[in-house]
Structure 1
Amino acid sequence: MKKLFLAFAFCTLIFSASPKAHAHPHSWIDLETTLLFNEDGQITGLWVGWLFDDFYSAFTLEETPRNSMGGYDQSSLDALAKQNLKNLSEYSYFTFIHANGKTLPHKEVTKFKTFVDNNRLWMEFTVELETPVDPRTQKIDYAVYDPTYYVEILHAAKGDPIQMVGNVNGCGYSLTSPEPPEELSLMAAALDQDETAGDGIGISFAERVVLSCP
């Protein structure tokens, strides 16, 4: 997992400036998600939007060339997003969609967009399922999280960060907040930036979106 965050351009200079330098997580993402339905009311995938924290954004943008208008060079931002997504592909893009408790296979991400919003880096991408799934016949839920909890990913506190588009056909959702055991939280807080508790810790700190359909 460490190579993923090298691709994300993390470094100890960022974490030394943070009061949480010696605890997991080391970076934070404000999340937005949109479930995608086709005309038959089947789920075809999930659109995911990430707004990176100030520390990560500042470090990354410091190395990003400017264009002639003074803004950030879009081709450089696109190249960064493409590299990040290439590495994230090894970890299901931190996006896990389940039907009746089983993780659904997905296609390689090809649709993405990135830009800078108020000095914070934004990246969005679409995770398309290999086969559309009917939420009226199967129990569907999803979670977006880093399995190692190196990065904390939670839906944004403001606005309406969870959406559904297409032929929703009366479906709704509920959002379940994480409730990790106290001992697990203490263990995560004790981990240094170059330590990991393995790929199983992150799910305990993940939000879960559960669909309900008539």
Structure 2
Amino acid sequence: MKRSRFVPPSAMKFRAVLIFFALLAPALALAHPHVWVTATTTVVTKPDGTITAIKHRWTFDEPFSAYAVTGMDTNGDGKFSREELAPFAKINMESLHEYGFFTSVKQGKAAIAFHDPVDYWLDHDGKALILNFTLPVKEGTIAVKDARLEVTDPSFFVSFEFAKENPVQVEGFSKVCKVQMKPPAAGVFQRLSQLGENAFDKAPPGGLGIDFSTPVTFSCP
């Protein structure tokens, strides 16, 4: 597969899982992105505002979810329990590590490093898969008031969009912070949708050079 030229071999597992399910649906396989995720994120801090963890809740699009859960209802009750979805959740966590969990927290050029995820599980709400996990901070001391948070896939294989209601929250800080989100420039997604797969296949490891992320900053007293 052409994409392997741009992704380290050890990082292919998670991408391979997504490709497998995406290719089952012709509509998903036509152009980037192949998978859509709606994210809600909680920035966990000490009382002084130092970031200690990032909590994510990612809701996958319904077509991807439908194919991903095929054969996972092992007890045949028509539902997908956390226990039934646990093996898939484990694969996601092991493989997302190679992508930095699509999560970046920086102060200028200084970036936080994360431990392996904890408290992770998959839910299914009857329509969509929902991945929950927490990333404890391993290295780096950044106050939430100085932080810039991004949740994005630079290759645009996976499209991340923050939820419309309570997209990003701060938990644990003794003060109230105002969340500020900067959406991509007008026309960016239209421009991306007009690119053929060949443009993505030939893109360098850092992506297309088109900024389609939604950086989040925090205004704290």
TM-score per shorter chain, which class?
Answer: 0.7 to 0.9
> Scaled by the length of structure 1, what TM-score is found?
0.84
How has the CA–CA distance of structure 1 residues 74 and 187 changed in structure 2, closer, same or farther, with 3 Å as cutoff? closer
- Looking at structure 1, the residues matched to 58 and 84 of structure 2 have their Cα atoms a distance apart, in angstroms, of 18
Partner of 1:155: 162
In 2, Cα distance between equivalents of 1:164 and 1:184: 32
The structural deviation recorded for 1:71 is 1.7
Deviation at residue 25 of structure 1 after TM alignment: 0.9
Could you give the per-residue CA deviations for residues 12-68 of structure 1, whole angstroms, max 9, x where no partner exists? Answer: 221x134xx432111100110111012333211211110000111010112312436
| 2:206 alignment partner AA | G
**Partner residue of 2:17 out of 7, 11, 19:** 7
| Matches for 1:53-92 after TM superposition, within 5 Å | 53-67=61-75, 69-92=77-100
Q: Distance in 2 between matches of 1:161 and 1:123?
A: 15
Q: Say if 2:181 and 2:214, in contact at 8 Å, map to a contact too.
A: yes
Return the TM-score normalized by structure 2: 0.82
Runs of 4 or more above 4 Å deviation = 180-184
Q: Which has the higher helix share?
A: 2
Show structure 1 runs of 5+ residues with no match: none
Aligned equivalents of 1:180, 1:198: Cα separation in 2: 24
Aligned twin of 2:212: 205
Equivalent runs, 1:1-214 vs 2, <5 Å: 1=7, 2-8=12-18, 9-14=20-25, 16-18=26-28, 21-67=29-75, 69-131=77-139, 133-135=141-143, 139-157=146-164, 159-179=165-185, 185-186=191-192, 189-191=195-197, 195=201, 197-201=203-207, 204-214=211-221
Measure the CA separation in 2 of the matches of 1:22 and 1:193.
13
Contact 2:55 2:134 in 1 (8 A): yes
Q: In the TM superposition, what is the alpha-carbon distance from 1:193 to its structure 2 partner? A: 10
| Distance (Å, rounded) in 2 between the aligned partners of 1:196 and 1:127 | 32
Query: What's the CA shift string for 1:107-138, capped at 9, x where partnerless?
Result: 111221211013200001111111463527x7
| CA RMSD, Structure 1 to Structure 2 (Å) | 2.8
Q: How many residues align?
A: 209
For structure 2, the 5+ residue unaligned runs are 1-6
